Amino acid sequence: MRMRTITMTVVAAFAISGCSSSDPAASAQPLGQASQKAKAAAPASSTPVSSSVLAGRLLAEADLGQDYTRKPEKAARHDDVTVIGCPALEELGGDAAAGGSLNFPNKAKASFVYSTSAGSEISEELYSDATPKLADGTKRIFDAMTGCPVYQVVIGSKPIKIATQKLAAPAMGEQAWSQLLTFTTGGQDIVVKQTAVRTGSVLMVVSGAPALVDSHLEKALAKASTAH
């Protein structure tokens, strides 16, 4: 299956250095199962949030610390993408199949380099839609992404092997999911942690070096789900 207009997040992952594997938990918290703490929290807004508002809720350098520098946004590339060995992702189509932007109408993204750790990176993506659509779409996308432990993506003429491993999802929000992605190309392996949390009409996805994702996840969610 061929898909066009793919943002090259999956290729950008190979620029991440200093990413090492961590010991994953045995299983992930299923999407839609919130912790007791999350269930007791005040209900999140179900109204979609505009892209401009989402942009204001992204982590900033001031939130992360002095060792972080925001990367400038790169122009989107438009390469053919072929998914091999994962029918669920082939059926899903769109940018998600190659680790790019998810297909929700409102979105914002920021990426940062951590200067004291050999250029390790962390990125945050925020999405919004009407809550029922966002909830259903999130489950469908992440079920597909975690449904195949190993598959291959060919971007242009460049083959990339992707191995996925579920992690224990954080006890946050109304839906939560986490995994390790191992990208292999040209004999090089890069491990990236990716964690997603949905609260009401906002979905947050944080990706990058595992230690950096763990360090900033709670702060990112607090800012992403603010009503202001």
Backbone angles phi, psi at 11, to 5 degrees: -75, -35
- In the chain, the amino acid numbered 152 is Q
> How much is the pLDDT for 170?
93
> How much is the pLDDT for 219?
96
Q: Which domains does the chain have, with CATH numbers?
A: 2-224 (3.40.1000.70)
Q: What is the pTM of this model?
A: 0.79
> How much is the pLDDT for 79?
61
- Torsion, Cα of 152, 31, 141, 54 (10° steps): -120
* 113 contacts 15 by C-beta, under 8 angstroms: no
Q: Which residues of the chain have pLDDT under 50?
A: 1-42, 94
> How much is the pLDDT for 2?
33
> How much is the pLDDT for 33?
41
